[in-house]
């Protein structure tokens, strides 16, 4: 069986258990997951994919506008029929989908359940994530290796972006900054300044719907103050992540202990990564959320992001195995 039938079976089992007759997936993460690929991003700020997928117990169909139908059929062959809706008709995609398969609920109303279905990546997805991690890491590290003190932050950022785009990778999040701005800001976005003492690059890279995240530095001398502290916290978080039977709440409890105070409140701490740059956001408190009870399982991918004042930030993407972690963001 290929990935698509396995995912479709997983989704249909959920629909049956939840008493849902049919569902319409429209967000890019859910569509990419079920289609095993992206269908081409037109508007990177759009909340909906160019393709919607309608699923019932017995039917599956893709619906797009008449503007995109020919392109998707010829350049993105999918294991289900694609039908077209007139672009100018309000709610045309949803109407055509229901005409084809019957009543549907909006996928957005069941987003947490859809996230839970796709957390455990299948072997093919893991292989694609591994390849993406290697390439994204090489792009960032090569760009930082070429940086010289005095180089402009926007020039470094442009080099990373170009490296991504030429490999079919979208730089979903790209942050480049240096020097005093690393000490002052958690997100020192490039503003056209020279970086004389240090440069930092943060990249969240996406290809075929999957994401990896990494942070790297290029110091002219010593690493920024705080990096060693962030690495110490990361070590505790990774050890907790690899512990058998662990939950996301347990990992966050270990993170809070590693900080030793409330500094985790100063910056978000990362979490599971996959078909979104983080599948959900989670913090040590409050502990009543659904995701604190969610178990970490083999096939989950995580990208924690411990951060302390003084330019200390650590970020890599890992794949959870049986009592071990595999770093995806290495060459």
Q: What is the pLDDT of residues 105-121, one digit of tens each?
A: 999 999 999 999 999 99
pTM of structure: 0.96
How far is 108 from 113, CA to CA, in rounded Å?
A: 10
Instruction: Look at residues 101, 118, 135 and tell me which one is the last residue of a structural domain.
Output: 118
Measuring CA to CA, how many Å separate 310 from each of 183, 189, 204, 220, 268? 4, 16, 22, 16, 16
What mean pLDDT is predicted for residues 308-330? 96
Q: Are 182 and 246 in contact (CB under 8 A)?
A: no
Helix, strand, or coil (residue 292) = helix
**Cα-flanking dihedrals φ and ψ of residue 120, to 5°?**
-80, 110
Indicate whether 234 and 101 sit together in one domain. no
Residue that has been written with the tokens 């170009």 in this structure: 162
Look up the CATH number of the domain holding residue 176: 3.90.230.10
140-148: list long-range contacts, CB under 8 Å, 24+ apart: 140/201, 140/203, 140/214, 140/216, 141/216, 141/331, 143/201, 144/199, 144/201, 144/216, 144/217, 144/218, 145/218, 147/195, 147/199, 147/218
Indicate whether 104 and 243 sit together in one domain. no
How far is 64 from 94, CA to CA, in rounded Å?
A: 10
Instruction: Look at residues 118, 141, 165 and tell me which one is the last residue of a structural domain.
Output: 118
Q: Look over the chain and give the mean of its residue pLDDT values, rounded to a whole number.
A: 96
The pLDDT value recorded for residue 75 is: 92
Closest-CA residue to 271 (of 281, 284, 257): 281
Indicate whether 103 and 127 sit together in one domain. no
Indicate whether 303 and 202 sit together in one domain. yes
Indicate whether 112 and 68 sit together in one domain. yes
Indicate whether 225 and 143 sit together in one domain. yes
**Number of structural domains the chain divides into:** 2
Least confident of 7-16, 206-215, 217-226: 217-226
Tens-digit pLDDT profile for residues 184-193: 999 999 999 9
pLDDT band, residue 138 (cuts 50/70/90): very high
Look up the CATH number of the domain holding residue 42: 3.40.350.10
Indicate whether 42 and 156 sit together in one domain. no
Domain range spanning residue 223? 123-327
Q: Which helix (H) or strand (E) holds 171?
A: strand 170-178
Indicate whether 277 and 130 sit together in one domain. yes
Indicate whether 156 and 302 sit together in one domain. yes
pLDDT band, residue 2 (cuts 50/70/90): confident
Instruction: Look at residues 66, 93, 118 and tell me which one is the last residue of a structural domain.
Output: 118
């Amino acid at each position: 069986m290929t990935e698509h039938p396995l995912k479709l079976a997983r989704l249909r089992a959920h629909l049956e258990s939840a008493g849902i007759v049919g569902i319409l997936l429209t967000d890019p993460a859910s569509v990419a997951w079920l289609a095993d690929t992206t269908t081409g991003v037109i508007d990177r700020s759009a909340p909906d994919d160019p393709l919607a997928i309608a699923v019932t117990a017995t039917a599956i169909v893709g619906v797009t506008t008449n503007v995109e139908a020919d392109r998707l059929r010829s350049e993105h062959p999918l294991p289900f029929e694609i039908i077209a809706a007139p672009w100018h008709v309000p709610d045309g995609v949803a109407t055509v989908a229901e005409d084809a398969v019957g009543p549907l609920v909006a996928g957005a109303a069941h987003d947490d359940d859809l996230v839970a279905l796709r957390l455990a990546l299948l072997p093919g997805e893991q292989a694609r994530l591994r390849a993406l991690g290697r390439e994204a890491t090489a792009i960032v590290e090569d760009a930082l290796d070429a940086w010289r003190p005095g180089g402009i932050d926007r020039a470094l950022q442009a080099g990373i972006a170009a490296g991504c785009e030429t490999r079919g990778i979208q730089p979903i999040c790209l942050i480049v900054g240096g020097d005093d701005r690393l000490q002052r800001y958690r997100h020192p976005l490039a503003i056209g300044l020279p970086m004389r003492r240090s440069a930092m690059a943060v990249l969240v890279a996406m290809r075929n719907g999957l994401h990896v995240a990494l942070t790297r530095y290029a110091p002219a001398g010593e690493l920024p103050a705080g990096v060693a502290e962030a690495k110490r916290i990361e070590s505790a978080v990774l050890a907790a992540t690899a512990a058998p039977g662990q939950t996301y709440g347990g990992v966050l409890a270990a993170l809070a202990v590693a900080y030793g105070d409330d500094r985790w409140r100063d910056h978000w701490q990362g979490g599971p990564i996959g078909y979104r740059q983080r599948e959900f956001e989670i913090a040590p408190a409050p502990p009543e959320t659904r995701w604190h009870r969610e178990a970490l399982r083999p096939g989950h991918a995580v990208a924690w992001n411990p951060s302390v004042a003084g330019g200390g930030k650590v970020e890599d993407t890992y794949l959870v195995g049986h009592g071990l972690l595999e770093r995806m963001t290495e060459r």
